[in-house]
Every structure is written in structure tokens, then in C-alpha cells.
A and B are shown apart, each in its own frame.
Chain A
Amino acid sequence: EAGVAQSPRYKIIEKRQSVAFWCNPISGHATLYWYQQILGQGPKLLIQFQNNGVVDDSQLPKDRFSAERLKGVDSTLKIQPAKLEDSAVYLCASSLRSQGPLRIYNEQFFGPGTRLTVL
């Protein structure tokens, strides 16, 4: 089974430039997540999609970050303009949709991440 795909793997930009990351989740996974992992910290959720709808974007810095999942499959995360503090690894994860009366929780599968360096 193919895993979560992300590209690019590495990106170096200067502050105030724009950058976009792409994620293709595991086939059949309705839920998609974007995390930011700053060096020395655990991943922090930026946004969660269920199909093409946003479930949680409470920690997304909406003045500069945006994300979309137009067809409910792959997703893009954009930063415009980038700041020095945006340097981090951006992880995409996917899971089966939580469903049923017990809301069975399905574990998340992570992609390799995109390492962003802002100079």
C-alpha cells in the first residue's frame, strides 16, 4: 500500500517570499491533516480536512497560511509571505474517517514531510 506522499522534500526561500507544499494522502482516506513541526518540538496541527471541508483550522495563522483540498483527495498548503519563524518541517497525515456511534478513532499515517528553511 502506498503511503502519504509529499513534495517537495526540501525548500529554501527568503523571507517575504511565497511557498507551496503538496500532499497526496493514502487512497480512501477521507481525513487529511497538516502539521508544523519546529525543531525541538512535537508536531502541531495546523488544519484538518474531512473530504474537502475544513474540520479544524483554529491554529492556522490565517493571515499568511492557507490550505485547500478542492477535490477531497490531494491538498496544498501555502505560506505567503513567509517569515523566519516559519522554518520547520511540514507534515501531512491522513486517516480513515472517524465514523459510527462510537466514533472509532483511526490512527494517522504520516508522510515524510517538507523541510522549509526561511532565510
Chain B
Amino acid sequence: AQSVAQPEDQVNVAEGNPLTVKCTYSVSGNPYLFWYVQYPNRGLQFLLKYITGDNLVKGSYGFEAEFNKSQTSFHLKKPSALVSDSALYFCAVRDGGSGNTPLVFGKGTRLSVIA
């Protein structure tokens, strides 16, 4: 069965500084990896995904993530944080080797960007 770990409940970063939100995964087949963001009282919004190809994936709002197979990680990064990036971030994984396996989410990391 697949699983996702987001080891940090909360990440605090000053505006303008680089940010990293950590994610590690476990899956038996090929990992399909995703990042979603959730703003208060709103649904999850898709940021980016890794299916295959280049290990560095670029997504919405200047975010990027790097797939590291040996470390089974898919950390979310942004070179310069904005106050408006403050939200709840979810990493998710799906076993790409199976036809209809569900998307499994981590418990989320709350990002707080301080002006």
C-alpha cells in the first residue's frame, strides 16, 4: 500500500526567503506524485505533479519540486516566499503501476510566511 509522510506540521519562513516543504513517500510501483495547496474555506488546488521525465518539476505560482528516487522524496520548493503563499500544503502519491489505485494524501504542512 502507498503512503506519504510530511514530517513537519508547520513551516515558518520570512518573506523573500527560500522555502521547502518536505515529503517522502512509499509505493510499490512507479510513483505518481502531486502537490496541492488549500486556502481557508476553499478546496484543494493543484500545484504540480511528477509522472515521468525530468526530476525537477515546475508548477503554479513559482513553485517547483524535485523527485529523488533514492531518497523517496518529493520536496516542494520556492526560491522566494510571499505572504500570500501562507496556506496548507498536501503531498499525495499514487501507484502508477496499477490501474485504479487511489490518491493517498499526507496529513499536510501549514506554511506561514511572515512579512
**A interface list, Cβ under 8 A from B:** 3-4, 40-45, 48, 55-56, 59, 91, 93, 98, 103, 105, 107-113
User: What is the total number of residues of chain B having a CB less than 8 Å from a CB of chain A?
Assistant: 25
Mark the stretch among B12-20, B62-70, B74-82, B91-99 that contacts chain A.
Answer: B91-99
Known: A42-B107, A43-B44, A112-B41. 8 other contacts (CB 8 A): A3-B43, A42-B106, A45-B102, A45-B104, A48-B102, A55-B100, A59-B102, A98-B100
Chain B residues contacting A112 (CB-CB under 8 Å) are 41-43
**Which residues in A have their C-beta under 8 angstroms from that of B51?**
105
Complex Cα gap A99–B104 (Å) = 21
What are 13 inter-chain pairs, A to B, with CB distance below 8 A? A41-B107, A41-B108, A42-B4, A42-B107, A56-B100, A91-B44, A107-B34, A108-B46, A108-B103, A109-B46, A110-B36, A110-B44, A113-B43
